[in-house]
Each structure stands twice: as C-alpha cells, then as structure tokens.
C-alpha cells in the first residue's frame, strides 16, 4: 500500500514538472498544420499518464505540434487488450502506425521520438 501511494505521488510530481517545463509548440502555417494533422490521423499512442517515458514521448509530440490519439493502456480495458493482442505485449509508450491496411507497433520512447522527428520536424 505504501509503495502504491509513493508511486502515485511520484507520478503526480512528474506530471506537474512536465506541465511547468513543457516546451513551446512548433509554429506552422495553417495549411502545414492541417497537413501534419492529416498525416497523424493514422497514429495512436498507447501510454500510461504518469509513466516517465510516456511523458517524454508526449513532450516530443507537444514540441512538434503533432495531434494524435492518446490511448490510456492503464485505465482503458479495450486499449490495454488491443496493445496486448495486436502489439504483442503491454509495454508503454507504444506508437501504433496504421498504413496501407497494416498496423506497425513501435515501442521505446527513443525510437518513437526519432520516428516523430523524422516524419514531422521538417513539416
């Protein structure tokens, strides 16, 4: 019980620190931002709200100004089962990329950040 309370408390501290130190969003023209939103419409991030690696990934999304669907794999049973059944394991963060009728599941915050930088930094 003590460990759970400690974990929840640390999670809230991580979220608060993220909030007060969040980087600025990348500025784009409305047309370019609409193109980014369209390109990101086939992406979903499976995450836990207070996971430090998920926070890191969400900061990258915020900085690159990439709007995508966040799926709570901790509190949403459907998202959790999708992650396990289709992705193969319950590990977050995990970026689901739907292209050409197929889904690719990208794990690890560094790999996800690299993918997002490559795909959206120049957009």
Which CATH number belongs to the domain containing residue 113 in this structure? 3.40.30.10
Does the pLDDT of residue 61 top 80, yes or no? yes
**Domains held by the chain: number:** 1
CA distance 94 to 107: 5
Span 15-34, average pLDDT: 90
pTM of the model: 0.88
Structure tokens at 79: 């998202």
Domain containing 71: what range? 2-24+31-120
What length is written for the chain? 123
Residue 123: the pLDDT is 61
Indicate the burial class of 17 (C-beta count within 10 angstroms; 0-12, 13-18, 19 or more).
exposed
């Amino acid at each position: 019980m003590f460990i759970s309370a400690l974990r929840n408390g640390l999670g809230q501290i991580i979220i608060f620190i993220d909030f007060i130190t969040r980087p600025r969003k990348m500025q784009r023209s409305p047309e370019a931002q609409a193109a980014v939103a369209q390109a990101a419409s086939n992406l979903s991030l499976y995450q836990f709200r207070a996971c430090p690696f998920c926070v890191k990934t969400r900061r990258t999304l915020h900085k690159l100004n990439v709007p995508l669907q966040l799926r709570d794999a901790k509190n949403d049973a459907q998202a959790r089962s999708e992650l396990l059944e289709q992705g193969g394991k319950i590990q977050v963060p995990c970026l689901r990329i739907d292209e050409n009728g197929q889904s690719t599941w990208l794990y690890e915050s560094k790999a996800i950040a690299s993918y997002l930088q490559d795909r959206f930094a120049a957009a």
